[in-house]
Chain A
């Protein structure tokens, strides 16, 4: 595990859902501390790629290496690796039967084997970090969408992950709540967290991304810096996609 080695390596990844080909041979490396934004039309396979990285989807073929370990179907190894990969979902997926604090302490206690006091201390510090310390004792349904998503980020961060995956984290939010979530993500990026973000927020990509990837039909079409992609897209499909989303 040389720190110079990439933290995520995806080799020749294929994923079929029945006859539908979601991923058609994807190769990707992510270095430590980098922020990678994946964009592309719906159905281009960007969410599937993200979900393969922590094996919420099982690849049809290909290899995925995370922090020097090849992902296999060994459940014990998978649980250990997943604990190192935080994931934030489009629909938040908070646990509705638990309070905000319990949402954040549960996996710390069960997976990381932390004591209740320690887990709560960490949970409160993460809540403070995402700016909703005062909501620790309420239930998720009493929160706005933006607040729920910030709790979800705090829940993932409390596990001290080495990587954070974001699967369209602002797509289900009302417009006025998008910024509060993006601000938290920008802070994280500045602090050097390794992030892979699937999003349609081009402003975020411009501000935070070290690399931007354009996917279409299960393939990485273009991989470059945000400036290069926005000012000088090389491929026709990239140009078409950018013109569609930027002229809205």
Chain B
């Protein structure tokens, strides 16, 4: 696959592959760093179990795991839909569709994610709500009183920071996933589309039944990697005071002045999540490449 990773994901080694090698070679190529990583994690969890300060930090911060998980899952689901639509748009023959999609992808890719999150949460979402209000007033004047006044009365404050964060992450990652989907579609040989069209299928039918099933299969590992990246980037929503693990760690540190404990726990929580996810992606990738042999 020619999809470039947009970030770094832990390159989990898989041990026990291939033929047995001489001991010397095995010692040289053995992933010592990974063992060291696991020992670091184990030591920290040992601290959590044995020392009061670390235990307090852990029980306090782990409460945010639910928010980190749910915000990542929900945003990623939206991003998948947005990404698929925008990715197909990037290669569409329809001039408007293609240009709108490219505009969106390039704007998102050209702005730092932190800035985007501020912009979407504090400018874009209020603008949308304002637009809905205007539409409500318009309906009211058309004498469709109930729906109109309901829409007109939606207040900016009633939209929680949690959902602003979800919208911000979805829009940002939608653009990244769009590029993955585009590359996936472009990786399918032209002959596939030609064969489908020569049988009388429309462009849509050919996309749906022939191109996308192959393209999505090809990009599954890349999609998995981007999910891991999103879990890490979800820490940025702490700037909106969303109570994910990063925000709660900041609160704990600010209140107790135990910065070392708070941020060590935070690091270890993220590492544990990303290692597990990276491992799943690698195993899945291996199974796929074995199947297609």
Q: Which residues of A are interface residues toward B (Cβ below 8 A)?
A: 54, 56, 75, 79-80, 82-87, 89, 91, 93-97, 106-107, 110-112, 141, 152, 155-156, 159
Measured between beta carbons, the chain A residues less than 8 angstroms from B292 are: 141
B213 within 8 A of A: yes
Q: Known contacts A91-B191, A110-B205, A111-B205: does B217 contact A97 (CB below 8 Å)?
A: yes
Complex: chain B residue closest to A76, CB-CB: B202
Chain B residues contacting A56 (CB-CB under 8 Å) are: 194, 197-198
List of 4 A-B pairs having minimum Cβ-Cβ separation, nearest first: A83-B200, A107-B199, A93-B195, A93-B191
The B contact surface, by secondary structure, is: helix
Minimum Cβ distance to chain B for residue A216 (Å): 25
Beta-carbon contacts under 8 Å, B279-293 to A: 292
- The count of chain B contact residues (Cβ–Cβ below 8 Å) is 20
Asked if B235 is at the interface (CB within 8 A of a chain A CB), the reply is no
Closest Cβ of chain A to B276, distance in Å, is 29
Does the CB pair A75–B202 fall under 8 Å? yes
Q: Does B210 contact A (CB under 8 A)?
A: yes
Taking a contact as CB atoms under 8 Å apart, the answer to whether B213 and A107 are in contact is no
Chain A residues positioned under 8 Å from B217 (CB to CB): 97
Chain B residues near A89 (CB-CB < 8 A): 191, 194-195
A96 cross-chain contacts in B, Cβ below 8 A:
214
A159 touching B191 by the CB < 8 A rule? Answer: no
- Selected from A91, A95, A111, the residue in CB contact (under 8 A) with B200 is A111
Chain B's closest residue to A81 (CB) is: B200
Is B192 close to A, CB under 8 A? yes
Q: A79-B197, A83-B200, A156-B198 are in contact. List 11 more A-B contacts (CB 8 A).
A: A54-B198, A75-B202, A87-B198, A94-B195, A95-B192, A95-B195, A96-B214, A97-B213, A106-B199, A107-B201, A159-B200
Interface residues of B (CB under 8 A from A): 189, 191-192, 194-203, 205, 209-210, 213-214, 217, 292
Measured CB to CB, the nearest residue on chain A to B214 is A97
CA A156 to CA B200, docked complex, whole Å: 10
A54 to B210, CA, bound (A): 19
Give the contacting residue for A79; candidates B194, B202, B210; CB below 8 A: B202
Q: Which residues of A contact B196 (CB under 8 A)?
A: 95, 107
Some 7 contacts from A to B, beta carbons below 8 A apart, are A80-B200, A82-B197, A83-B199, A93-B189, A93-B192, A96-B214, A106-B209
Q: How far is the CA of A106 from the CA of B292 in the complex (A)?
A: 21
Residue of B189, B192, B200, B209 near A82 (CB, 8 A) is B200
Q: Which residues of B contact A156 (CB under 8 A)?
A: 198-199
Give A84 to B195 CA distance when docked, in angstroms. 14
Chain A positions within 8 Å of B194 at CB level: 56, 89, 93
Interface centre among B189, B197, B198, B213 (most CB of A within 10 A): B198
> Which residues from chain B contact A79 at a C-beta distance below 8 Å?
197, 200-202
Check A110–B192 contact: CB distance below 8 A. no
Say how far B151's CB is from chain A's closest CB, in angstroms.
38
Residues of A within 8 A of B200 (CB): 79-80, 82-84, 107, 111-112, 159
Q: How far is the CA of A191 from the CA of B209 in the complex (A)?
A: 32
Name the distance in Å between A207's Cβ and chain B's nearest Cβ. 26
Chain A residue at minimal CB-CB distance from B192: A93
The CA-CA distance from A86 to B197 in the complex, in Å, is: 11
Q: In the bound complex, how far is the Cα of B271 from the Cα of A139, in angstroms?
A: 41
